[in-house]
Structure 1
């Protein structure tokens, strides 16, 4: 019995489950996807009102759906939008580049769980400390309200930026 407990502990340790408390969680229960930096690029963007350079990444399900223009996206698709403030390159002032990390946002497709928000769960983690955004789970209404103008594109502003 003791060896089974020790084995289970090491399995959990190796999977990262023991340290789940270290993972930031949004007020609606969506945890930061720790592996999002390894996802594929879907598109870059620039948001003038915030002066943020952004890149949109997708997990494998999201990338397949984006490449194939699949709408609605399948359950299990997850998009990550990473945003930075901007600065001019010191040796090439006509170039704008990322400055400080601002936030990472996630859209998680689950048509049953997030039916009230078009099948999408939203989460935002702000600043270098990845502080969960929102005082309570109602923060998602802010996200969803912004995305309603693109309801016909499964609430997505972004399309796959194809390259040859």
Structure 2
């Protein structure tokens, strides 16, 4: 069901501020399992979608619409660059941002039960000037309202 574990070589040697809505960068997210990968041709980015233990369990059990409270989805985003030795391949370039969706129906009823957060660049600067930045996220996720506001199709394995 899952692609496998993602282990980033980089470690955080600095404190990361919470998002303006109070969500903190999830501890240990670099060791979460990969649920899916995406390439966006509109902005030439590559994305790895990760899940915490609750999200992984939901995927394995086929219980992702709706996702259970406690599930956290993370998306790590890099600029896609031409691979230096493989003509038809893209490789991760500069790190763009890390985004997270936290499912907590009681805490986030106004945004479909999801809390949103983003940290930009290698410095992991919180995105948004105040807590209202989540409306930008929530508005973007409206086309997948019928899928619990989640774009990701978890990858299937044989």
Alignment TM class, shorter chain as reference: 0.7 to 0.9
In the TM superposition, what are the counterparts of 1:15-164 in structure 2 within 5 Å?
22-70=15-63, 71-164=65-158
Displacement over 4 Å in runs of 4+: none
**Relative contact order higher in (CA < 8 Å, ≥ 6 apart):** 2
Specify every segment of 5 or more residues in structure 2 that has no aligned partner in the other structure, as ranges: 1-13
When normalised by structure 1's length, the TM-score is 0.85
Whole-Å Cα distance in 2 between the matches of residues 31 and 120 of structure 1? 14
Bigger Rg, which one: 1
Whole-Å Cα distance in 1 between the matches of residues 121 and 53 of structure 2? 26
When normalised by structure 2's length, the TM-score is 0.88
1:66 and 1:159 in contact (8 A); partners too: no
What value does the CA root-mean-square deviation take over the aligned residues?
A: 1.2
Q: State the Cα deviation string for residues 14-49 of structure 1 (Å, max 9, x = none).
A: xxxxxxx92321000001113111000100001122
1:92 shift after superposition: 1.3
Aligned length: 144
Of Structure 1 and Structure 2, which has the larger fraction of its residues in helix?
A: 1
1:125 shift after superposition: 0.3
Q: State the Cα deviation string for residues 132-152 of structure 1 (Å, max 9, x = none).
A: 000100000000001111111
Specify every segment of 5 or more residues in structure 1 that has no aligned partner in the other structure, as ranges: 1-20
